[in-house]
Amino acid sequence: MKLIVTAFLVLLLVVPAVSSAETVLRTGSDISVEADQIVEGDYYVSVGPFGRTVMSGSVLEDMYALGASVTVNGEIGHDLSILAGTSHLHASITDDVRIVAGEVTIAEDVGGDVFVLAGSLSILSTADIGGDVYFFGDSLSIEGDVAGSVLGKAQSVNIDSHIGKDFDMSAPLGVTIGDGAMIDGSVQYTSFLPLSRGQGAVIGGEVTRTESVAMTARQQARGVLVPIFITLFATLCLYLLFKRELESIVASVENTFSRNLLIGSAVTLLGPIVSMLLIVTVLGLFVGLLALSVVVLLYVAGLALSSVVLGAFVMKSFTKKLEVTLATILVGTILMQGLLFIPIIGLVTVYVIFAVTVGALTQRLYRVIA
Task: Per residue of the chain (370 residues), give pLDDT as tens.
Answer: 443 344 444 444 444 433 444 678 887 778 999 998 999 889 988 886 678 999 999 999 999 888 889 999 999 999 998 888 899 999 999 999 999 888 999 999 999 999 998 889 999 999 999 999 999 888 999 999 999 999 999 999 999 999 999 999 999 999 999 999 999 999 999 998 999 999 999 999 999 998 766 555 666 666 666 677 777 777 777 777 778 888 888 888 888 888 888 888 888 877 777 777 776 665 566 777 777 788 888 888 888 888 888 888 888 888 888 888 888 888 888 888 888 777 677 778 888 898 889 988 888 888 877 6
CA 95/CA 77 separation, integer angstroms: 7
CA atoms within 13 A on the CB side of 42: 16
Helices (H), 164-284: 217-241, 243-255, 257-281
CB contact at 8 A, 125 and 107: no
In three-state secondary structure terms, 311 is: helix
Q: Identity (one letter) of the amino acid at 281?
A: T
pLDDT at position 116, please?
Answer: 92
Contacts 24+ apart (CB under 8 A), 97-106: 101/70, 102/343, 102/344, 102/347, 106/144
The overall longest dimension of the chain from CA atoms, in Å, is: 72
Find out whether 251 and 310 touch, Cβ atoms under 8 Å.
no
Comparing CA positions, the residue from 121, 89, 79 lying closest to residue 104 is: 121
Asked whether the beta carbons of 148 and 166 are under 8 A apart, the reply is no
> Rounded to whole angstroms, how far apart are CA atoms 280 and 274?
10
Angle, alpha carbons 168-174-180 (nearest 5°)? 75
Q: What is the pLDDT of residue 98?
A: 92
Closest CA to 129 of 153, 112, 149: 112
**One-letter amino acid of 122:** S
**Backbone Cα Rg of the chain:** 23
Distance separating alpha carbons of residues 340 and 228, to the nearest angstrom:
12
Quote the DSSP letter at residue 164: S
Q: Read off the amino acid at residue 35.
A: A
Q: What pLDDT does residue 74 have?
A: 95
Amino acid at site 54: V
